[in-house]
Amino acid sequence: MIAALVYLQLTALKNAVRQRTSRLRQPRYLIATLVGAAYFYFLFFRMPASPGSGPGARTGPGNIGLFVGVTLAAVIMMGRIVYLWIFSADRAALTFTEAEVAFLFQAPVQRRVLVNYKLLKSQVRIVCSAFLFSLLSQRLGTLGGNGWTHAAGWWILLSTLELHSIAASFTRERMLDIGLNLARRRALFLGGILLIGCTLGWYLRRTLSAPTPADLVQPTAMLHYLQGVLATPPLTWLLAPFIWILRPFFAQDLTTFVRSLGPALLILAGHYFWVIRSEVAFEEASLELARRRTERGEARMAGRWNGPDRPAQKRPEPFVLRPQGLVPPAFLWRNLISAGPLFYPRNWLFISVAVLGAMLWLASRPEYRTVLVFVPAIALPLSSCVLVAGPMVMRREVRLMMQRLDVMKTYPLRGWQIVLGEMLAPIVLITAIEWLLLAVMAVAAGTLKGEFGLVAAVGGFGAIAIGLLVPPVVGLMTGIPFAAALCFPAWMASLGSAGGGVDAMGQRMIFAGGYLTVLAAALLPSALVAVGPYLLVSWSSGSAAAGLIVGASAAGLTLLGELGIVIWWLGGRYERFDLSLEAPLS
C-alpha cells in the first residue's frame, strides 16, 4: 500500500515540476523565472558573505563561542517545545489535502501507513527548507562546517521538530481521552516547569556566584561567565537532548559531525517510533483541518484575508450616494465601505485634527523639542513606505475586480469610468495618509529649524508643494496594478495566490522595478515643466515659497495630464480586454 502512496507523492511532484517547466515556453514565465533565478543566485552565491567566511577562514568559532552558541540554541529549542506542550490547543490532526482525505481515508489503508505517508510528504518540504537554510547558514563562515554538514544538521533539526510536533499533538489527544483537559494540562505542565525552574534557580544560586561588573564589561568575559552558567550540571542534563540534536549542525569538521550523528539520529528515531506507535484517532481532526485549510485558501483567493470564519459586519456609509449622478464616485463609495470606517471623511478629519493638535501642542512646549526630533525620523520613512507599498496592496483589489469582470463588463460604462472609479479609493486613502504625514513633518520641521517663523513658513509651503503632487503621483502608481492586470492577467493571478516559486519571485521583482520606472518616467517631465515657472516666479517676486507653490502647481498639472492619459489608455485596454484569451483568474 505504501508503494501506492509513494507513487502518488512522486507523481504529483513530477507533474508539478513538469507543469512549471512546460510553462517556461511562455515568454512571461521564462523572463520571470530568469529574473527570479538571478535574484536567488545573487542572494545565495554572490552577495558578500559575512567577514571571515572566505575559504581560508572556515575554522569555525572558538570553543567558548561554540559552546555558548549551541547551548543558547538548545535553550531556544527547549522554549519552543515547552510552548508547544503548554499553549498549543490543536487536536491530533495530520495535515492532508481534501483530495487526500477523500481518497485515502475511505481506502483500505492502515492508519500507520497514513502516518508514514504524511511523514514522507513532509520530507519534501523539510529537505527543500534544509537545502535553502544550509545555503544561507554556510555563508556565515563563523559557524564552521561545510554545506553538507549544515544541510544534514538542518534536516535533523527540522525533522525532529516536525515529529515532536505530531507526537505532542497525539499525546495531548490521549490526555484528553483520559480526562486531562486543556486547563488541567496547562496547570500540570506550568506547575512542573515552575517546580523545575525554581529548583534549578535555587541550585544555581547556591553553586554559582552572581556576575561581577568585570564579567559584564567585555564580550569575552561575558562569554566566559555564560559558559560557567550553562556548563553547570543540572542545566546541562536538562539541555542535553536538545544539544545532541543541534550538534551535527554546529560540527566543525567531518569527524565531529560523524561522532555527533549517533545521539541525534537516536533521538530522531525515538520520535519516529513515538509517532508511529501512538494509537490515537486523528482522522476526525484531520478532516476538519483539511476543510479549514481549503476554506482559508478559498477565502484568500476571494480576497477575504480575515478568513472564512469571520463574517463581515455591516458598516456605515462614508457618504450618501444618490441613485443618479457621476459613476466613479459610486465605486469610491463602495470601496470606502470595504476599506472600513477609519478612512471615512468625518473620522479621518477627526483623526487629523487630533494628531495635528497634539503636534502643535508639542511644538509650543520647548521642553519637548527633543521629542519632535523623532517625528520626521518616523514620519518620513512611513510616508515613503505608504507611497510605495500602498499601490502594491492594490493588487488584491485588482484581482477581485478581475474575478468579477464578467459581470462588470455588462455594466453600461466606458472603460475609463470603471478604471477611474476603481482607482479613486486608493488615491483618496493614500493621499489622506500622505497629507497628514506631510502636515506632521511640516510642523516638526518648522519648529525645529526656524525660531522666527520664516523657515517654518517655507517648510509649510514645501509641504503644500509636495502635497499638490501627491494625488497624481499616487494615481499614477495605482495605475500600475491595473495595467499589469490588463496586460499580464496570468501574472496577477499567480501573484495573488499563496506560495510561488522562482518565477513568482521574478514576477514580484519585475513589478517592483516597474513601480520605480513608472515613478521616474512620470516625475521627469513634470520636474522639467516645473523648473521654468519656479525660476520665473521666484525671480520676479523674490519669494522662494511662491516659486515653490507655482512650480509645484505646474508639475501637479503635468502629472494630472499624465494620469488622465494613463486612465484613458487603461480604459481602452479594459474595453478591448478579452477575458476568454487569458488565464483564469479565479
Partner 1 sequence: MIEVSSLTKCYGEFTAVRELSFGVQAGEVMGLVGPNGAGKTTTLRCGTGIIPPTRGQVRINGIDLAADPVGAKRQLAFLPDEPRLFDYLTVWQHLVFVARLYGVADFAVRAQGLLEELEIADKKELLPGALSRGMKQKLAIACGLLHGPRVIFFDEPLTGLDPAGIRRMKDTMRRLARDGAAIIVSSHLLSLLEEVCTHVLILKHGEKIADGSLADVRMRFARQPDASLEDVFFSATGDDRVPPLLTRP
Interface ranges with partner 1 (CB under 8 A): 304, 311-315, 317, 321-325, 327, 329-330, 333-334, 337-338, 403-407, 409-414, 575-576, 578-581
Cβ nearer to partner 1, comparing 46 with 314: 314
Q: How far is the CB of 254 from partner 1 (least distance, A)?
A: 57
Q: How far is the CB of 311 from partner 1 (least distance, A)?
A: 4
Cβ nearer to partner 1, comparing 335 with 431: 335
Q: How far is the CB of 251 from partner 1 (least distance, A)?
A: 54
Residue with cell 525515538: 270
Cβ nearer to partner 1, comparing 162 with 422: 422
Evaluated on CA atoms 209, 210, 213, 215, the torsion sign reads positive
For residue 278, count other CB atoms closer than 10 A to its CB. Answer: 18
Residue 499 DSSP code = -
Q: If DSSP codes are grouped into helix, strand and coil, which group holds residue 195? A: helix
Residue 178 DSSP code = T
Give whole-number Cα distances, 317 to 152, 320, 468, 540, in Å: 58, 7, 28, 49
Cβ nearer to partner 1, comparing 225 with 416: 416
Q: How far is the CB of 164 from partner 1 (least distance, A)?
A: 39
Torsion angle defined by CA atoms of residues 334, 337, 342 and 343, in that order, rounded to the nearest 10 degrees? 10
Q: How far is the CB of 406 from partner 1 (least distance, A)?
A: 5
Cβ nearer to partner 1, comparing 506 with 571: 571
> Does an H or E element contain 171, and which?
helix 147-177
Cβ nearer to partner 1, comparing 311 with 366: 311
**CA distance linking residue 231 with residue 235, whole number of Å:** 7
Q: How far is the CB of 306 from partner 1 (least distance, A)?
A: 10
Q: How far is the CB of 27 from partner 1 (least distance, A)?
A: 16
Q: How far is the CB of 412 from partner 1 (least distance, A)?
A: 4
Cβ nearer to partner 1, comparing 94 with 570: 570
Closest residue by Cα to residue 326 from 239, 395, 413, 244? 413
Helix axes 147-177, 254-277, angle to 10 degrees: 20
3-class secondary structure for 255-301? Answer: HHHHHHHHHHHHHHHHHHHHHHHCCCCCHHHHHHHHHHHHHHHHHHH
φ and ψ at residue 170, rounded to 5 degrees: -65, -45
Q: How far is the CB of 319 from partner 1 (least distance, A)?
A: 12
3-class secondary structure for 200-229? Answer: HHHHHHHHCCCCCHHHHHCHHHHHHHHHHH
For residue 152, count other CB atoms closer than 10 A to its CB. Answer: 19
The residue type at 206: R
Cβ nearer to partner 1, comparing 48 with 323: 323
Cβ nearer to partner 1, comparing 313 with 364: 313
